[in-house]
Amino acid sequence: MPDFQAPRGMNDVLPEDEAIWRHVRETTERVARLFDYRRIETPIVEELGVFTRTAGEESDIVSKEMYAFDDRGGSTLALRPEGTAGVCRAYLEHGMASRPQPVRLYYFAPTFRYDRPQAGRYRQHWQFGVECIGDPSPAADVEVLELQRTLYAELGLTDFTVRLNSIGTAETRAAYREVLMAHFAPHLETLSADSQRRYETNVMRILDSKEDANHPALQDAPSILDYLSEEDTEHFAQVRALLDGLGVEYEVDPAIVRGLDYYARTVWEFQPQDAGGQSTLGAGGRYDGLIEMLGGPSTPGTGFATGIERLVLEIEKSEPDLDDVTPDVFTVPLGDAGAIAAARLARDLRAAGVAVRAGVPGRSMRAQLRAANSSGARYAVIVGDDEAAKGVAQLKPLLDDGDQREVALVDVAGAVAD
Ligand code: HAM
């Protein structure tokens, strides 16, 4: 056992994982481009308040899972447990409200939650997320949800259920919470300890409880949809009409309440068909109050995020055939003069855009050719002292049984380009 390992719940993404990670990353970038979203990078850490004010002091990610610390100057910072709050902080800080609205942004970024590690749940995970800020309309919610659906479809993932709900505005929820508290009060003793805690901190989260999912008090709990204001109801009806018009299937599920305080109105989760609630592929919703919570003017926003590790696990189930990265050319240097000529040739080839894996001078020709064969390169280029003296190389095709031939060093780039 070596002295050190990666921190518990955190993963190394190894070169052999790169093909699938690149496939996912490039697909997210392509789909973001199709919807005209621009990339934003925010720091991995923010001032603690960015998260406590928005996700809420009582949310799991803040109260149980945050990596928070004081830096050497005494500022209290936190590793980001989610992406939306930092993006909104940047929107505000850079005056993006004066740009044409909405501002459409995306990120692909490491995210940290001190959670109990298990398959698909890590202490560092990567999120792809988008935020559409400055548009209160139902069309913005549907654009974001459609972007998410398109991303999964482009990755070959279609076997999921979209669970959709509206949780209304803060005023709606205040009234609904009272109704819920009255409903759960007589059942408190038979609910789990976690639900009893949620009763005090945020009673709506009891609806989200895995442990109590089959408890009769959850089954017949009053639905938030019956307590929405007229405007909330109209907004939600328009979201559904647009989704119906696009042929996007979804299930309205009043139990989708989301664990972050900043949500308002439309919320949704994409769940794989064959899995329980733990493995939500990605989720999002509207957060019209968030920028105000950060001290800015009232600004609407909507977005989603999806965990990259969970996407990779889903995609791997179908064993995709993804191209590994291979060099174009493997150089085989032999002898001292050959080593210099091979190093120069490698430099010229790279300048011409040819990917070169350099053989190790001093190793035998046999060993180098064996390495060349397993590298996936299309050509081995052998340069010994004799070749160096004559200004040539031996070009050996590796992927077909073409003949080895002698080529002038200056012609190698052209020959391997064919
Ligand atoms: P969230 O539902 O907390 O939402 O996380 C989004 C996604 O990140 C989850 O659906 C899941 O795929 C992934 N995820 C979360 N925690 C973990 C973990 N511990 N390990 C692996 N994957 C994880 C948000 O974070 C919101 N900011 C989404 C959003 C954007 N809403 C509006 N805009």
Kind of pairing, strands 76-79 and 392-397?
Answer: unpaired
Q: In angstroms, what is the span from residue 282 Cα to ligand 1's centroid?
A: 6
Closest ligand 1 atom number to CA of residue 286: 32
Alpha carbon of 305 to ligand 1 centroid (Å): 5
Give residue 276's pLDDT.
Answer: 54
Query: Of 280, 281, 293, 308, which is best to mutate to test ligand 1, by the most ligand atoms within 8 angstroms of its C-beta?
Result: 280
Residue 131 near ligand 1, beta carbon < 6 Å: yes
- Quickly state the pLDDT bin for 325 (edges 50, 70, 90): confident
Say if ligand 1 is within 6 A of residue 341 CB. Answer: no
3-class state of residue 349 by DSSP: helix
Q: Token match 């496939």: residue?
A: 23
Q: What is the pTM of this model?
A: 0.94
Q: How far is the CA of 62 from the centre of ligand 1 (A)?
A: 13
Other beta carbons within 10 Å of 95 = 8
pLDDT per position as a tens digit, 196-220:
999 998 899 999 888 998 999 999 9
Q: What is the pLDDT of residue 278?
A: 57
Cβ 350 under 6 angstroms from ligand 1: no
Predicted confidence band of residue 275 (pLDDT cuts 50, 70, 90): low
Which amino acid is located at 248 in the chain?
V
H-helix or E-strand spanning residue 22: helix 18-34
pLDDT tens column, 303-314 = 999 999 999 999
Give the pLDDT mean for 386-403: 95
Q: How far is CA 273 from the centre of its chain?
A: 20
**Does residue 288's CB lie within 6 angstroms of at least one atom of ligand 1?**
no
Q: Determine whether the shortest distance from the Cβ of 129 to ligand 1 is under 6 A.
A: yes
Ligand 1: centre distance to CA 79 (Å): 15
CB < 8 Å & 24+ apart, contacts of 11-18: 11/122, 11/124, 11/309, 17/312, 18/325
Q: What is the pLDDT of residues 138-197, one digit of tens each?
A: 999 999 999 999 999 999 999 999 999 999 998 899 999 999 999 999 999 999 999 999
Residue 244: predicted pLDDT: 98
Phi-psi region of 319 (alpha: psi -120 to 50; beta: other; left: phi over 0): left
Q: What percent of the chain has pLDDT over 70?
A: 99
Q: Whose CA is nearest to atom 13 of ligand 1?
A: 307
Element (H, E) at 351: helix 336-351
* Partners of 165 in the β-ladder: 267
Query: How much is the pLDDT for 107?
Result: 98
Mutate-to-test residue for ligand 1 from 114, 310, 312, highest number of ligand atoms within 8 A of CB = 310
140 Cα to the center of ligand 1, angstroms: 20
Is a pLDDT exceeding 80 seen at residue 66? Answer: yes
User: Does ligand 1 have an atom closer than 6 angstroms to the CB of 283?
Assistant: yes
What is the CA(219)–ligand 1 centre distance, in A? 26
Nearest to 79 by CA among 88, 67, 65: 67
Atom of ligand 1 nearest to the CA of 311: 12
Q: What average pLDDT is seen over the chain?
A: 95
Which of 59, 65, 66, 125 is the pocket-test mutation for ligand 1 (most atoms within 8 Å of CB)? 125
CB count, 10 Å around CB of 369? 18
